[in-house]
Amino acid sequence: MLRSPHSARLALSLAGLASLPAAVAAAADKIGYFPEFLLTAPETVNDPLVVLGPPDDRYFGLGEDIVIYTLGAWRVVDLPGPDLNVYEADFGVVEFNLMDILVSNDRREWVSLKPTMASAVKLVGDERHNSATHRRSFDLAGSGLSEARFIMIRGLGTGPASGTNGFDLDAVGLINWTVPGPGTLVAIAGLVALRRRR
Ligand SMILES: [Ca+2]
Ligand SMILES: [Ca+2]
Protein backbone atom coordinates (compact mmCIF):
# COMPACT_ATOMS: atom_id res chain seq x y z
CA MET A 1 0.00 0.00 0.00
CA LEU A 2 1.24 3.46 -0.86
CA ARG A 3 1.00 6.15 1.76
CA SER A 4 0.92 9.91 1.46
CA PRO A 5 2.99 12.36 3.52
CA HIS A 6 -0.23 14.35 3.94
CA SER A 7 -1.34 11.89 6.66
CA ALA A 8 0.50 13.71 9.40
CA ARG A 9 -1.13 17.01 8.54
CA LEU A 10 -4.56 15.39 8.49
CA ALA A 11 -4.15 13.92 11.97
CA LEU A 12 -3.10 17.30 13.24
CA SER A 13 -6.05 19.02 11.58
CA LEU A 14 -8.46 16.46 13.07
CA ALA A 15 -6.96 16.94 16.50
CA GLY A 16 -7.41 20.67 16.09
CA LEU A 17 -11.04 20.62 15.00
CA ALA A 18 -12.32 21.49 18.46
CA SER A 19 -10.18 24.60 18.58
CA LEU A 20 -10.87 25.98 15.11
CA PRO A 21 -10.96 29.77 14.97
CA ALA A 22 -14.49 31.15 14.81
CA ALA A 23 -13.92 32.51 11.30
CA VAL A 24 -13.10 29.05 9.98
CA ALA A 25 -15.80 27.24 11.93
CA ALA A 26 -18.39 29.68 10.58
CA ALA A 27 -17.49 29.00 6.96
CA ALA A 28 -20.17 27.23 4.95
CA ASP A 29 -17.71 24.90 3.26
CA LYS A 30 -17.46 21.39 4.62
CA ILE A 31 -14.14 20.09 5.87
CA GLY A 32 -12.90 17.61 3.29
CA TYR A 33 -11.01 14.41 3.83
CA PHE A 34 -8.51 13.81 1.06
CA PRO A 35 -7.59 10.12 0.82
CA GLU A 36 -4.04 9.23 1.88
CA PHE A 37 -3.55 5.72 0.55
CA LEU A 38 -3.43 4.05 -2.84
CA LEU A 39 -4.07 0.38 -3.39
CA THR A 40 -3.37 0.35 -7.11
CA ALA A 41 -1.45 2.83 -9.25
CA PRO A 42 -0.13 2.75 -12.83
CA GLU A 43 3.41 1.39 -13.13
CA THR A 44 4.20 3.88 -15.86
CA VAL A 45 4.04 6.84 -13.46
CA ASN A 46 7.16 7.85 -11.54
CA ASP A 47 5.40 9.30 -8.50
CA PRO A 48 1.82 7.99 -8.13
CA LEU A 49 1.51 9.63 -4.70
CA VAL A 50 0.82 12.98 -6.39
CA VAL A 51 -2.87 12.05 -6.54
CA LEU A 52 -3.08 11.76 -2.72
CA GLY A 53 -3.94 14.52 -0.30
CA PRO A 54 -5.61 17.82 -1.23
CA PRO A 55 -5.45 19.12 -4.82
CA ASP A 56 -2.02 20.69 -5.34
CA ASP A 57 -1.46 20.94 -9.13
CA ARG A 58 0.55 17.71 -9.00
CA TYR A 59 -1.15 15.09 -11.14
CA PHE A 60 -0.75 12.57 -13.92
CA GLY A 61 -2.75 11.74 -17.02
CA LEU A 62 -4.61 8.46 -16.51
CA GLY A 63 -4.76 7.39 -20.15
CA GLU A 64 -6.58 4.04 -20.02
CA ASP A 65 -5.17 3.05 -16.62
CA ILE A 66 -6.79 2.93 -13.19
CA VAL A 67 -6.07 4.25 -9.72
CA ILE A 68 -7.67 2.68 -6.64
CA TYR A 69 -7.80 4.65 -3.39
CA THR A 70 -8.30 2.78 -0.13
CA LEU A 71 -9.83 4.81 2.66
CA GLY A 72 -8.35 2.73 5.48
CA ALA A 73 -10.53 3.26 8.53
CA TRP A 74 -12.31 6.21 6.88
CA ARG A 75 -15.52 5.77 4.87
CA VAL A 76 -17.28 7.87 2.34
CA VAL A 77 -20.94 7.87 3.38
CA ASP A 78 -24.18 8.73 1.65
CA LEU A 79 -25.73 11.85 3.16
CA PRO A 80 -28.09 14.28 1.45
CA GLY A 81 -26.37 15.83 -1.57
CA PRO A 82 -23.07 14.90 -3.24
CA ASP A 83 -20.62 12.81 -1.19
CA LEU A 84 -17.22 13.15 -2.87
CA ASN A 85 -15.23 15.28 -5.30
CA VAL A 86 -12.77 14.45 -8.05
CA TYR A 87 -10.26 17.12 -9.03
CA GLU A 88 -8.67 17.36 -12.45
CA ALA A 89 -5.51 19.44 -12.76
CA ASP A 90 -6.90 22.98 -12.98
CA PHE A 91 -5.68 24.00 -16.44
CA GLY A 92 -6.22 23.04 -20.07
CA VAL A 93 -9.09 21.00 -21.45
CA VAL A 94 -11.74 19.69 -19.05
CA GLU A 95 -11.68 15.92 -19.57
CA PHE A 96 -14.26 14.36 -17.26
CA ASN A 97 -15.55 12.62 -20.40
CA LEU A 98 -12.33 10.57 -20.20
CA MET A 99 -12.86 9.22 -16.69
CA ASP A 100 -15.18 6.99 -14.71
CA ILE A 101 -15.48 6.80 -10.92
CA LEU A 102 -16.49 3.58 -9.22
CA VAL A 103 -16.87 2.64 -5.55
CA SER A 104 -16.75 -0.66 -3.69
CA ASN A 105 -16.61 -2.21 -0.25
CA ASP A 106 -14.97 -5.49 -1.25
CA ARG A 107 -12.94 -4.65 -4.39
CA ARG A 108 -14.94 -7.23 -6.34
CA GLU A 109 -18.22 -5.48 -7.00
CA TRP A 110 -17.87 -1.93 -8.27
CA VAL A 111 -20.61 0.62 -8.91
CA SER A 112 -20.10 3.63 -11.16
CA LEU A 113 -21.11 7.00 -9.74
CA LYS A 114 -20.61 8.75 -13.08
CA PRO A 115 -24.36 9.26 -13.72
CA THR A 116 -24.53 11.47 -10.60
CA MET A 117 -21.81 13.88 -11.77
CA ALA A 118 -22.58 17.49 -10.78
CA SER A 119 -20.92 20.84 -10.12
CA ALA A 120 -18.39 20.46 -7.32
CA VAL A 121 -19.07 21.24 -3.69
CA LYS A 122 -16.35 23.51 -2.29
CA LEU A 123 -14.39 21.96 0.55
CA VAL A 124 -12.16 23.31 3.28
CA GLY A 125 -8.80 21.97 2.14
CA ASP A 126 -9.20 22.33 -1.63
CA GLU A 127 -8.25 26.03 -1.76
CA ARG A 128 -5.33 25.39 -4.11
CA HIS A 129 -7.69 24.16 -6.81
CA ASN A 130 -8.57 27.23 -8.84
CA SER A 131 -10.97 26.13 -11.55
CA ALA A 132 -14.57 25.21 -10.74
CA THR A 133 -14.91 23.56 -14.15
CA HIS A 134 -12.04 21.16 -13.44
CA ARG A 135 -13.72 19.54 -10.45
CA ARG A 136 -16.95 17.58 -10.05
CA SER A 137 -19.01 16.06 -7.27
CA PHE A 138 -20.51 12.58 -7.21
CA ASP A 139 -23.22 10.98 -5.08
CA LEU A 140 -23.54 7.52 -3.53
CA ALA A 141 -27.32 7.87 -3.72
CA GLY A 142 -28.72 5.30 -6.12
CA SER A 143 -25.55 3.16 -6.03
CA GLY A 144 -27.04 0.69 -3.56
CA LEU A 145 -24.21 1.51 -1.14
CA SER A 146 -24.70 3.61 1.98
CA GLU A 147 -20.93 3.86 2.39
CA ALA A 148 -17.79 2.76 0.55
CA ARG A 149 -14.18 1.85 1.38
CA PHE A 150 -12.57 1.90 -2.06
CA ILE A 151 -12.67 4.44 -4.88
CA MET A 152 -11.52 3.64 -8.39
CA ILE A 153 -10.79 6.35 -10.94
CA ARG A 154 -10.73 4.70 -14.36
CA GLY A 155 -9.21 6.42 -17.35
CA LEU A 156 -11.29 6.23 -20.52
CA GLY A 157 -8.48 7.54 -22.72
CA THR A 158 -5.97 5.49 -24.68
CA GLY A 159 -2.49 4.29 -23.82
CA PRO A 160 -0.69 4.12 -20.49
CA ALA A 161 -0.87 6.73 -17.76
CA SER A 162 1.69 9.50 -18.18
CA GLY A 163 2.10 13.27 -18.50
CA THR A 164 -1.17 14.85 -19.61
CA ASN A 165 -2.54 11.78 -21.39
CA GLY A 166 -6.31 11.73 -20.98
CA PHE A 167 -7.90 12.71 -17.68
CA ASP A 168 -5.38 14.55 -15.49
CA LEU A 169 -6.07 13.25 -11.98
CA ASP A 170 -4.97 15.63 -9.22
CA ALA A 171 -6.93 14.51 -6.14
CA VAL A 172 -10.07 13.01 -4.63
CA GLY A 173 -11.87 14.72 -1.75
CA LEU A 174 -14.59 13.29 0.48
CA ILE A 175 -17.49 15.59 1.36
CA ASN A 176 -19.39 13.18 3.62
CA TRP A 177 -17.16 10.84 5.56
CA THR A 178 -16.76 9.05 8.86
CA VAL A 179 -13.67 9.34 10.95
CA PRO A 180 -11.91 6.33 12.47
CA GLY A 181 -12.39 5.46 16.13
CA PRO A 182 -10.40 7.29 18.84
CA GLY A 183 -7.85 4.47 19.18
CA THR A 184 -6.89 4.79 15.53
CA LEU A 185 -6.47 8.54 15.83
CA VAL A 186 -4.22 8.14 18.84
CA ALA A 187 -2.08 5.72 16.84
CA ILE A 188 -1.81 8.21 13.97
CA ALA A 189 -1.00 11.05 16.37
CA GLY A 190 1.83 8.92 17.79
CA LEU A 191 3.19 8.50 14.29
CA VAL A 192 3.11 12.26 13.81
CA ALA A 193 5.07 12.77 17.01
CA LEU A 194 7.74 10.32 15.85
CA ARG A 195 8.02 12.10 12.54
CA ARG A 196 8.25 15.56 14.03
CA ARG A 197 11.12 14.63 16.33
CA ARG A 198 13.34 13.73 13.37
CA1 LIG B 1 -25.32 11.59 -1.06
CA1 LIG C 1 -2.33 16.16 -6.61
CA–centroid distance, 61 to ligand 1, in Å, is 28
pTM above 0.85? no
CA–centroid distance, 46 to ligand 1, in Å, is 34
Residues with CB under 5 A from ligand 1 (ion): 78, 83, 139, 141
Residue 8 confidence (pLDDT) above 90: no
Ligand with the closest atom to the CA of 60: 2
Please choose, from the candidates 47, 14, 6, the residue with its C-alpha nearest in 3D space to the C-alpha of residue 189: 14
Q: Across the chain, what does the average pLDDT equal? A: 86
- Contact call for residues 87 and 134 (beta carbons, < 8 A): yes
CATH 2.60.120.260 fits 2-197, yes or no: yes
Average pLDDT over residues 138-147: 97
**pLDDT, tens digit, 9 for 90 and up, residues 164-185:** 999 999 999 999 999 877 766 5
| CA 75/CA 105 separation, integer angstroms | 10
Ligand with the closest atom to the CA of 48: 2
Q: Quickly state the pLDDT bin for 3 (edges 50, 70, 90).
A: confident
Ligand with the closest atom to the CA of 34: 2
Ligand with the closest atom to the CA of 148: 1
| CA 43/CA 65 separation, integer angstroms | 9
From first CA to last CA, the distance across the chain in angstroms is 23
| CA 7/CA 100 separation, integer angstroms | 26
Helix, strand, coil shares of the chain, percent, nearest 5, are: 25, 30, 50
Average pLDDT over residues 61-79: 97
Q: What is the pLDDT of residue 12?
A: 47
| CA 52/CA 174 separation, integer angstroms | 12
Ligand with the closest atom to the CA of 52: 2
CA–centroid distance, 25 to ligand 2, in Å, is 25
Ligand with the closest atom to the CA of 50: 2
